[in-house]
Amino acid sequence: MKKHLTFLLLWAITLPLFAQTPVYLNPAAPLEDRVEDALQRMTLEEKVAVLHAQSKFSSAGVPRLGIPESWMSDGPHGVRAEVLWDEWYGANWTNDSCIAFPALTALAASWNPEVAALYGKSIGEEARYRNKNVLLGPGVNIYRTPLNGRNFEYMGEDPCLAAQMVVPYVREVQKNGVAACVKHFALNNQEIDRGHVNVQVSDRALYEIYLPAFKAAVQQGGAWAIMGAYNQYKDQHCCHNQYLLNDILKRDWGFDGVVISDWGGVHDTEQAIANGLDMEFGTWTNGMDWSKSDSYSRYYMAQPYLQLLKDGRADEKILNDKVRRVLRLVFRTNMSPNRPYGSFGTQEHAEAGRRIAEEGIVLLQNNRNVLPIDLSKTKSILVVGENAVKRMTIGGGSSSLKAKYEASPLAGIQARVGNAAQVTYVKGYESPAEREQDVKNAQEAQLKTIDAKALRAEAVEAAKSADVVLFIGGLNKNGGQDCEGADRAGLELPYEQDLLIAELAKANPSTVVALVSGNAVAMPWVAQVPAIVEAWYGGTEAGNAIAAVLFGDVNPSGKLPFTFPVRLQDNGAHAAGEYPGDGKSVAYRDDIFVGYRWLDKEKIKPLFAFGHGLSYTTFQYGKAVADKSKITASDAVTVTLSVKNTGVRDGAEVVQLYISDKKASLPRPVKELKGFKKIRLKAGEEQTVTFTIDQTALSFYSNVNGAWVAEPGEFEALIGASSADIRATVKFVLQ
List, as one string, the DSSP characters of 433-456.
P-PPTT-TTPPPPPP----HHHHH
Distance CA 268, CA 290 (A): 19
Whether the predicted pLDDT of 122 surpasses 60: yes
pLDDT above 70 covers a percentage of the chain that reads 94
Distance CA 462, CA 441 (A): 40
Whether the predicted pLDDT of 574 surpasses 60: yes
Tell me the average pLDDT of the chain: 94
Q: What is the pLDDT of residue 320?
A: 98
Provide the β-strand partners of residue 422. Answer: 380
Looking from the CA of 214 toward its CB, the CA atoms found within 13 Å total 31
Looking from the CA of 648 toward its CB, the CA atoms found within 13 Å total 1
Distance CA 489, CA 495 (A): 13
Q: Is the dihedral of CA 85, 87, 93, 98 positive or negative?
A: positive
- For residues 434 and 433, which has the higher predicted lDDT (pLDDT)? 433
Whether the predicted pLDDT of 473 surpasses 90: yes
Q: What is the pLDDT of residue 436?
A: 43
Distance CA 678, CA 666 (A): 32
Distance CA 107, CA 215 (A): 19
Q: What is the pLDDT of residue 293?
A: 58
Categorize the per-residue pLDDT at 442 as very low, low, confident or very high, splitting at 50, 70 and 90: very low
φ, ψ of residue 117 in degrees (nearest 5): -65, -40
Distance CA 431, CA 254 (A): 48
Whether residue 400 contacts residue 438, with contact meaning beta carbons closer than 8 Å, is answered with: yes
φ, ψ of residue 551 in degrees (nearest 5): -105, 10
What are the pLDDT digits (tens) for 159-208?
999 999 999 999 999 999 999 999 999 999 999 999 999 999 999 999 99
Q: Is 172 helix (H, G, I), strand (E, B) or coil?
A: helix
Q: Catalytic positions, please?
A: 262
Whether the predicted pLDDT of 437 surpasses 50: no
**Share of the chain residues as helix, strand and coil, in percent rounded to the nearest 5:** 30, 20, 50
C-alpha of 286 from chain center: 34
φ, ψ of residue 233 in degrees (nearest 5): -140, 130
Whether residue 120 contacts residue 170, with contact meaning beta carbons closer than 8 Å, is answered with: yes
Q: Which of 142-156, 522-536, 701-715 has the lowest mean pLDDT?
A: 701-715
pLDDT above 90 covers a percentage of the chain that reads 90
Q: What is the pLDDT of residue 449?
A: 84
Categorize the per-residue pLDDT at 20 as very low, low, confident or very high, splitting at 50, 70 and 90: confident
What predicted TM-score, i.e. pTM, was given to this entire model?
Answer: 0.95
Q: Is 591 left (phi over 0), alpha (psi -120 to 50) or beta?
A: left
Distance CA 351, CA 330 (A): 31
Average pLDDT over residues 431-449: 53
DSSP H or E segment with residue 587: strand 585-587
The closest alpha carbon to 449, from 426, 432, 436, 435, belongs to 432
Q: What is the pLDDT of residue 292?
A: 56
Q: What is the pLDDT of residue 87?
A: 81
Distance CA 117, CA 676 (A): 16
Q: Is 174 helix (H, G, I), strand (E, B) or coil?
A: helix
Q: What is the pLDDT of residue 576?
A: 80
| CATH number for the domain running over 347-438+446-562 | 3.40.50.1700
The closest alpha carbon to 68, from 344, 339, 401, 398, belongs to 339
Distance CA 146, CA 167 (A): 25
Whether the predicted pLDDT of 11 surpasses 50: no
Residue type, 88: W
C-alpha of 129 from chain center: 22
Burial tier of 601 (Cβ tally within 10 Å: 0-12, 13-18, 19+)? middle
Q: What is the pLDDT of residue 295?
A: 83
Whether the predicted pLDDT of 108 surpasses 80: yes
C-alpha of 163 from chain center: 11
Whether residue 105 contacts residue 563, with contact meaning beta carbons closer than 8 Å, is answered with: no
Residues in the chain, how many?
735
Contacts with 720 (C-beta within 8 Å, 6 or more apart), sequence order: 611, 621, 656, 658, 726, 727, 728
Terminal Cα-to-Cα distance of the chain (whole angstroms): 76
Q: What is the pLDDT of residue 3?
A: 47
Burial tier of 261 (Cβ tally within 10 Å: 0-12, 13-18, 19+)? buried
Whether the predicted pLDDT of 18 surpasses 70: no
Categorize the per-residue pLDDT at 447 as very low, low, confident or very high, splitting at 50, 70 and 90: low
Q: Would you call the peptide bond into 186 cis, given omega within 30 degrees of 0 as the criterion?
A: yes
Neighbours of 291 (CB within 10 A): 13
Q: Is 689 helix (H, G, I), strand (E, B) or coil?
A: strand
The closest alpha carbon to 269, from 296, 237, 299, belongs to 299
Average pLDDT over residues 665-669: 95
CA distances from 125 to 121, 139, 339, 406, 620 (A): 6, 19, 10, 20, 40
Q: Which of 124-138, 160-174, 421-435, 687-701 has the lowest mean pLDDT?
A: 421-435
Whether residue 557 contacts residue 613, with contact meaning beta carbons closer than 8 Å, is answered with: yes
Q: What is the pLDDT of residue 75?
A: 79
Domain chopping of the chain, boundaries: 347-438+446-562, 619-734
The closest alpha carbon to 159, from 145, 183, 142, 184, belongs to 142
Q: What is the pLDDT of residue 621?
A: 98
Strands 651-661 and 630-631: unpaired
Neighbours of 131 (CB within 10 A): 14
The closest alpha carbon to 46, from 250, 283, 320, belongs to 320
Distance CA 418, CA 547 (A): 12
Q: Is 193 left (phi over 0), alpha (psi -120 to 50) or beta?
A: left
Whether residue 301 contacts residue 277, with contact meaning beta carbons closer than 8 Å, is answered with: yes
Whether the predicted pLDDT of 291 surpasses 90: no
Whether the predicted pLDDT of 510 surpasses 60: yes
Task: Classify each residue of 75-89 as buried b or exposed e, where b means 16 or more C-beta atoms within 10 Å of its C-beta.
Answer: bbbbbbbbbeeeebb
Q: What is the pLDDT of residue 472?
A: 98
Distance CA 55, CA 281 (A): 9
Provide the β-strand partners of residue 183. Answer: 139
Q: What is the pLDDT of residue 435?
A: 41
Whether residue 186 contacts residue 238, with contact meaning beta carbons closer than 8 Å, is answered with: yes
Whether the predicted pLDDT of 440 surpasses 90: no
Whether the predicted pLDDT of 354 surpasses 90: yes
CA distances from 107 to 76, 208, 390, 576, 678 (A): 11, 22, 21, 30, 14
> Rounded to the nearest 10 degrees, how much is the dihedral formed by the CA atoms of 53, 75, 406, 517?
-130
Categorize the per-residue pLDDT at 514 as very low, low, confident or very high, splitting at 50, 70 and 90: very high
What are the pLDDT digits (tens) for 48-89?
999 999 999 999 999 999 999 999 999 789 999 999 988 888
Average pLDDT over residues 306-335: 98
Q: What is the pLDDT of residue 19?
A: 53
| CATH number for the domain running over 619-734 | 2.60.40.10
Whether residue 459 contacts residue 504, with contact meaning beta carbons closer than 8 Å, is answered with: yes
Whether residue 388 contacts residue 408, with contact meaning beta carbons closer than 8 Å, is answered with: yes
